[in-house]
Chains A and B, each alone.
Chain A
């Protein structure tokens, strides 16, 4: 086993993990607060991705600048979805919630299909092709940038959760909704903001993916399943768990891709394997918030 290759594989895995972490963090935030199975979350990534792509190809706007815009747009999107679609079914059986969000997913995916066609599109920015070399390890600049963005946003979110009023309310509601209500927390407002922020994180994830890979209408589905695997692994409601879970998934996929024959095909199955295994042996996840 070649140490240089191994190091490269690890680095790739970590960078991929960073890519996943944005959407996973958003999902775990939403689930922690609202306990709702939310498939629509994948579409926030899709929207963010297309937004960045079109802003770049049509107007030459650099993804970095699209980022705050995407965050704003997806935040509003999340708030709207929460108020009009999710909130009404928040106390409905999970069955209804799942099917409702599935329905929304179908609508959004096919809207994208109709508007943008099913073609895979990608953008080439000035720095897409640049790789940094650190000893024997290469890192695509785009990937590295995406990773940094993910870290920055996640840190900002964590700080917000610790220091702001809203953040404290979120943590209270995640731990014990009833107790939080009794303490006077405006749970409705917390829900809406959490959904908004979570969706914004997903949107940011979309910005990052558009920098690194291609975009297509069904991209949300691809990532949401991984996000679910990560959130289940890390524990619903735990930001730290989502980050760690993302890294674990990224690393495992990277290792499988490189060291298993036909690895890249099997790598896709890693998330599902993790999902099933964790749901069986430790359904609350590694860092669950009780």
Chain B
């Protein structure tokens, strides 16, 4: 293996060690931040997978919300063990993805983008308008994860870390697999891919479903962690926006990109939220515009450019 390969593995191990170790040194608040970071690592990585097939989702919050509500409602009804909830959250989110994916399949990417936006808003309205099922706009309260309290937070952190790890692992394996050839072929020229034996529908839906699943799982986690969810909170367009900016900032066609973007933007967002309070999202807007103009390959692309030139 090349030196570069060893360097990569070493830095990954250091990162992992760091992540496993930090709960013992962080304050409760900082730990909460790290949990948020991990949530967005999952969302950003999952959203990125769609881009690999040239599909854009502007409404990824829909899957987050579906996962959150599924887990919350199921738990309140049947007290299932948390892992079941999370998986169910993922499954229902996937079903939503299959629904929207299949009916929107023949659309051009821009049409799909608008349709996913509409889908997210539509699901939000459905949740609000069916209080019998979902408690409507009042929201749902769930018993706090692991009983609440300080140690509970640490357990919560390890749980979401595991989810994030699995998600990133999934993305990594996917990128090295035969599937990535199908995805990229569809991305670059769907008609040509079709002519080479690739069923575009099958793989696009596959990507959509996979993407939605992990977002649904982490949505379920979030519901348990925060122990109260409401429609405007979990179907929030900001979640959808962050799902896009993070991979864009980090690097769209990479595995590390969304992770980097999630780290930076979650922490930046929290910092801004506290210091600037109102209208801090303006920074996000500026970042987004600057990224599109000057850094379309994201930060990872930038770094790769440097290392290549060496």
Q: Which residues of A approach B to under 8 Å, CB–CB?
A: 37, 85, 88-89, 92, 94-96, 98-100, 102-111, 113-114, 117-118, 221, 225, 228-229, 232, 262, 265-266, 268-269, 271-273, 275-276, 279-280, 283
Closest to B51 in A: A95
Given contacts A110-B279, A110-B281, A279-B115, could you give 8 more A-B pairs where the C-beta distance is less than 8 Å? A92-B292, A94-B56, A103-B288, A107-B286, A113-B279, A272-B118, A272-B119, A283-B106
Task: Tell me the chain B residues, 83-124 only, with Cβ under 8 Å from chain A.
Answer: 103-104, 106-111, 113-115, 117-119, 121-122
Contact present for A276 and B115 (CB under 8 Å): yes
Contact for B125 among A104, A118, A268, CB less than 8 A: A268
Q: What is the distance, in angstroms, from A79's C-beta to the closest C-beta of chain B? A: 18
Contact for B292 among A94, A100, A266, A276, CB less than 8 A: A100
Asked if B289 is at the interface of the complex by the 8 Å CB criterion, the answer is yes
Contact present for B122 and A103 (CB under 8 Å): no
**CA of A204 to CA of B242, assembled, Å:** 32
Contact for A99 among B111, B121, B282, B288, CB less than 8 A: B288
Closest 7 CB pairs of A and B: A103-B288, A106-B285, A107-B285, A110-B282, A114-B279, A110-B279, A272-B118
Given A37-B114, A110-B285, A272 and B292 touching (CB < 8 A)?
Answer: no
Contact present for B285 and A280 (CB under 8 Å): no
Contact present for B286 and A265 (CB under 8 Å): no
Interface centre among A106, A221, A232, A268 (most CB of B within 10 A): A106
Given A96-B292, A104-B285, A228 and B122 touching (CB < 8 A)?
Answer: no
Asked if B280 is at the interface of the complex by the 8 Å CB criterion, the answer is yes
Q: Is the interface of A mostly helix, strand, loop or mixed?
A: helix
Q: Which residues of A contact B248 (CB under 8 A)?
A: 99
Contact present for B288 and A100 (CB under 8 Å): yes
Contact present for B285 and A269 (CB under 8 Å): no
**CA of A111 to CA of B280, assembled, Å:** 9
Number of A-B contacts (CB under 8 A): 123
Asked if B20 is at the interface of the complex by the 8 Å CB criterion, the answer is no
Contact present for B125 and A265 (CB under 8 Å): yes
Asked if B48 is at the interface of the complex by the 8 Å CB criterion, the answer is no
**CA of A262 to CA of B126, assembled, Å:** 12
How many interface residues does chain B have, given as a range?
35 or more
Q: Which residues of A contact B278 (CB under 8 A)?
A: 110, 113-114, 117-118
Q: What is the distance, in angstroms, from A267's C-beta to the closest C-beta of chain B? A: 9
Asked if B265 is at the interface of the complex by the 8 Å CB criterion, the answer is no
Contact present for A89 and B292 (CB under 8 Å): yes
Q: What are 18 A-B interface contacts by the 8 Å CB criterion?
A: A37-B110, A94-B109, A94-B113, A98-B58, A98-B110, A100-B289, A103-B285, A106-B241, A106-B288, A107-B289, A110-B278, A110-B279, A110-B281, A265-B129, A273-B122, A276-B103, A279-B115, A283-B111
Contact present for B107 and A266 (CB under 8 Å): no
**CA of A268 to CA of B231, assembled, Å:** 15
Given A268-B125, A269-B126, A96 and B115 touching (CB < 8 A)?
Answer: no
Asked if B296 is at the interface of the complex by the 8 Å CB criterion, the answer is yes
Given A114-B279, A265-B125, A225 and B118 touching (CB < 8 A)?
Answer: yes
Closest to A229 in B: B118
Contact present for B114 and A266 (CB under 8 Å): no
Given A98-B56, A100-B292, A269-B125, A107 and B282 touching (CB < 8 A)?
Answer: yes
Q: Which residues of B contact A271 (CB under 8 A)?
A: 118
Given A266-B125, A283-B107, A102 and B281 touching (CB < 8 A)?
Answer: no
Asked if B244 is at the interface of the complex by the 8 Å CB criterion, the answer is yes
Q: What is the distance, in angstroms, from A119's C-beta to the closest C-beta of chain B? A: 11
Q: Which residues of B contact A232 (CB under 8 A)?
A: 111, 114
Interface centre among B51, B114, B245 (most CB of A within 10 A): B114
Q: Which residues of B contact A221 (CB under 8 A)?
A: 237
Asked if B284 is at the interface of the complex by the 8 Å CB criterion, the answer is yes
Q: Which residues of A contact B103 (CB under 8 A)?
A: 276, 280
**CA of A268 to CA of B128, assembled, Å:** 11
What 0/1 readout, one digit per residue, does chain B (27-71) give for beta carbons within 8 Å of chain A? Answer: 000000000000000000000000100001010000000000000
Q: Which residues of B contact A269 (CB under 8 A)?
A: 121-122, 125-126, 129
Closest to A88 in B: B293
Q: What is the distance, in angstroms, from B22's C-beta to the closest C-beta of chain A? A: 31
Q: Which residues of A contact B287 (CB under 8 A)?
A: 103
Q: Which residues of B contact A100 (CB under 8 A)?
A: 288-289, 292-293
**CA of A132 to CA of B34, assembled, Å:** 59
**CA of A96 to CA of B293, assembled, Å:** 9
**CA of A78 to CA of B63, assembled, Å:** 35
Q: Which residues of A contact B117 (CB under 8 A)?
A: 225
Closest to B103 in A: A280
Q: Which residues of A contact B286 (CB under 8 A)?
A: 103, 107
Closest to A118 in B: B278
Q: Which residues of B contact A272 (CB under 8 A)?
A: 118-119, 121-122, 125
Q: What is the distance, in angstroms, from B254's C-beta to the closest C-beta of chain A? A: 16
